[in-house]
């Protein structure tokens, strides 16, 4: 019998990623609604300690991420152009007040490794929401207004023209 992890932000296999949960778990993520950057999985010591078991999924980045496992699934979806389902969680910047919400299908427009805010290599994936879906249930500025001004080293999310259709 094959079982998926009970807690994971990325669901996928060798064919690609099926869904991601945007829930504010990585310091390098930027969520603009119609477009967002998503940090891959790994590079965290999730073992915790006997006295601190509650933070098993929120440990700080402590080593480089690799292009393996679900990170490779995301990269495969980038290469194939297949859409990925996006779920936003209540801990995320644009998530619901409680629980989780399905926000539609997105395509991965770009995939790249970079040095993250903690100084370790992380895999980043730039997502863009596909056209023809119901509007998102929150107010987000139009995508053309969501262009980063280059204020920091990780402003890769929405550089001018990067998310044009």
Q: Is residue 97 part of a domain?
A: yes
The pTM is what? 0.76
CA atoms within 13 A on the CB side of 18: 7
| Distance between CA atoms of residues 92 and 26, nearest Å | 10
Residue 104: inside a domain, yes or no?
yes
**Residue 79, in any domain of the structure:** yes
- 39 belongs to a structural domain: yes
In a domain, 125, yes or no: yes
The CATH number of residue 89's host domain is 2.30.280.10
**Residue 160 within any structural domain of the chain:** no
Domains of the chain: total: 1
Q: Per-residue pLDDT for the chain (165 aa), expressed as one digit of tens each?
A: 444 444 557 889 999 999 999 988 777 888 999 999 999 888 766 665 555 554 445 667 778 999 999 999 999 999 999 999 999 999 988 999 999 999 999 999 999 999 988 899 999 999 999 999 999 998 765 665 544 433 334 444 333 334 433
Full residue range of the structural domain in which residue 126 is found: 10-145
């Amino acid at each position: 019998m094959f079982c998926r992890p009970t807690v994971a932000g990325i669901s996928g296999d060798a064919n690609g990623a099926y869904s991601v949960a945007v829930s504010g778990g990585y310091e390098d993520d930027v969520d603009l609604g119609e477009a967002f950057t998503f940090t891959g999985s790994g590079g965290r010591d999730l073992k915790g300690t006997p006295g601190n078991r509650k933070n098993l999924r929120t440990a700080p980045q402590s080593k480089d991420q690799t292009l393996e496992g679900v990170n490779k699934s995301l990269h495969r979806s980038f290469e194939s152009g297949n859409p990925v389902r996006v779920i936003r969680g209540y801990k995320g910047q644009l998530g619901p007040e409680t629980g989780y919400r399905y926000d539609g299908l997105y395509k991965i427009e770009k995939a790249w490794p970079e040095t993250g805010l903690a100084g370790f290599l992380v895999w980043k994936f730039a997502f863009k929401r596909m056209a023809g879906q119901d509007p998102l249930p929150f107010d987000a500025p139009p995508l053309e207004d969501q262009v980063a001004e280059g204020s920091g080293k990780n402003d890769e999310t929405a550089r001018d023209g990067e998310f044009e259709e």
